[in-house]
A and B are shown apart, each in its own frame.
Chain A
Amino acid sequence: MSGRARGRARGMARSPVATEVGRLFPSLRSSPPSIALIDNEASSSSDCARTSRISQKCKCGISSSDSGCTSKERGGKVRRDVMDLSVCTREKLTHVRDCKTGSSGIPVKLVTNLFNLDVPQDWQLYQYHVTYSPDIESRRLRIALLYSHRELSNKAKAFDGVILFLSQKLEEKVTELSSETQRGKTVKMTITLTRELPASSPVCIQVFNIIFKKILKKLSMYQIGRNFYKPSEPVEIPQHKLSLWPGFAVSVSHFESKLLLSADVSYKILRNETVLEFMTDLCHKSSVSCFTQTCEKQLIGLIVLTRYNNKTYRIDDIDWSVKPTHTFRKRDGAEITYVDYYKQQYDITLSDLNQPVLVSLLKNKKNDNSEAQMAHLIPELCFLTGMPGQATSDFQLMKAVAKETRLDPLVRQQHLARLADDFQRNKDARFELETWGLHFGCQMSLTGRIAPAEKIIMQDHICHPASAADWSKDIRTCKVLSARSLNKWLVICSNRAESVTENFLNCLRRVGSPMGFNVDHPKIIKVQENPAAFIHAIQKYVKYEVQLVMCILPSIQTSYYDSIKKYLSSDCPVPSQCVRAQTLNKQGMMLSVTTKIAMQMICKLGGELWAVEIPLKSLMVVGINVCKDAFSQGTMVVGFVASINPRITRWFSRCILQRTTAHVADCLKVFMIGALNRWYRNNHGLPARIIVYRDGVGDGQLQTLVDYEVPQLLSSVTEASSNTSPTLSVIVVRKKGMPRFLAETGRNLQNPPLGTVVDSEATRPKWYDFYLISQVACRGTVNPTYYNVIYDDNGLKPDHMQRLTFKLCHLYYNWMGLISIPAPCQYARKLTFLVAQSLHKEPSLELANSLFYL
């Protein structure tokens, strides 16, 4: 793309018409980033190699500043997660309107990561609207003029260019001030009181968040994304070229009865590697013929950070035809080479004059139809960010990062204590809090309850596991509930893996018989080491009566796994089991590896492993998960897994791809009716109760869920039967909550015991919600799972709802122990993951009765 073309694109984006529209309809605010932190924009001052030009007319008349424009649209926007908080679901649930807390279980004292934030009883926030005469577009100038005015200089204030918040009321309802620009032009500012807000208002919450952002900046932290990081104390992992910046995620919010600040330790992963270095390395590593393709494949889509300002860009393309010695047109119209530009602007000398340029499409904030704008970036001046692409498979790297970032409870607490100390001791921080009339209080403690341990029911044995975290040892010699024998099956392996395979088959038979799983000798097919050979063998040998296909894969290359799964999940639906040859080679691990594989195979054949005691006699539990497809951006994958027997050991699994970007499921009615039919066939009646656990909910979607998904489920339930239809509960499950709970044991702090429930103080007043810790964190601090009951016809007591949820966390057959979310959710998660990562199409309905995706 030529400089001229880019110039055109830019010109259109800045057309006066677009600006006017923004001004005429300030109420038509689209999606929300929060009220900006006012001194946010300040660092974006210096210009960079913008390859375009703005017309002079634009520059003076209707100033062209992006920031000016957004400021008009900005005021009073509410963050998505804050939006959720205003959805009142509890008031409709009569049985918990007065009390939503349970009482059973052993009490346990817990320390939280929540801090009291005290606000005087009569505290109010005053919201003003500010207009300028003559009007000024530039947000920075608007703010600068207001801030430099004597009248306001000593007051606590937050201002985004349009809306001004003060903690003290101005004398007059309308105040007129006049200020002079640096160049002496007089500007009149009219400040009109529009609202007086109590501390509980959502707008106040946002202002509190802005205040704390300001304070964190004053503590020399850097904002990257939503969180703040300390560059002064980096953790270096030089062998992987990574720097970890410690920092905090901080947010102020209204919890059950008061305003609290939650703070959690967070690490930002930065890479000490420029894009040029990365390219050079890649060039040495990869073969030449495909260098450009490899490069594009690895780089496009990554986020880079520029050397000379704090901006991040997404790499959308690489322009191999443009070199640093080429020229571009600056905003003022002058032609300059990239080399000269960076020398002049930033005193940076480029070392490689042959590097290509990276192309980034700039987001069009105004959402009009103009062409996207592009920026050219020099690889040498761009740092890579985030984890390297192949990192997740690089065990050493993951281990190194985990070692530094997974803080155990005590260390985490020390970090938090230091932050709290900074808030209280730092002069600027204290001043800021005081001028607003806020008081940063102490860390909150509360009492949780520990649900009793569960028994694991096997075929002819009930076992009390020594640890609920892992009962693999306890059930080693027990028969599983039911297992079909495996008579007709295939094993496909490479020539090299022959002996490994034989070993494994022997072991499988040995492991299988005490479990009650009979395995006959399979037909073994030896093939060449390439994905096509595997698929070819499968196509040739898999016939209808084959019960299961096992593939011993020679490498972790996803192409094997993806193509095999794709073929055997939809084109020719047969349960399949893929194992890496390397996994079967681990000495001393053979027994446990084989046991796990055997269990997966039993499930894939439709067997049941274990159960827990479920007091409700006719209960169906459902897990729903929604996630994005890995390839096509506009596609969502919806997974639905429902239990189809009262014991909750057999499952019906459906998955669909949905063409939309919203994390909202469309097809729940079809799925629910399908599950109810299946239940009816198996149990000759409908379930009395249905409890749906909904996972994969994004911020700001709660209202949509209530308005859109719950009715779908309800209508399918009521239509299912003419007389008494099942009663329904819908629970939103979230794993990424802010609160953390730590148990005090003497002087030490530990993760709370399994089964710890918290249903007070850290919860929300408008919701029927609770936290449950149902997993162990072997390293680091456990993250409690958050449950929000948004619909509940079942009227179970909170105690029972909590206990039942805990029981369901025991039923995930891929792990002989407790997991962090209810089993149906985890099944749905596993299913959507398989579809989103490997299949990219719907699995066949024929497999719906088995856990084929384990």
Chain B
Amino acid sequence: MHSFGYRANALLTFSVTALAFICAIASFSDKFSNQNPSAEIQILNINRLKKQSYGNDEVSLTLDISADLQSLFTWNTKQVFAFVAAEYETSKNSLNQVSLWDVIIPDKEHAKFRIQTSNKYRFIDQGHNLRGREFNLTLHWHVMPKTGKMFADKIVMPGYSLPDAYK
């Protein structure tokens, strides 16, 4: 501590180490929050189920998505990324996941919503497996913190199905 530069350096390194500690504590405090998100998805209409000109099945849907993700937000949350995926099994793949719609939720106020929309991303199969197919619609979310580890979870809603013939 005998010189200005020595003291400035010591203070700088100690303050950065302490900063790392308080960020770790802030991240750890997320464990004490109660989280009970909820969601519901209805298929309003199946607009088209067709076979593309170069082979694969494609379906276009209109969805009614309502969700309450407000309890996921803590003081250490930067944003929540949520997406709806259709999941089904075929003879070729044990799990197919197709993302249909997503959103970035920047704060708690926007986390409770209801939206009616056609699928944002195209629902295309690897093959011709969609006729009469039963599938789950799963709402996944990734909670991105201001400091710390991102964690992800989901709600699985089973019981949706596609028509038996192309339309």
Asked if A and B are interacting partners, one says no
Residues of B at the A interface (CB closer than 8 Å) are none
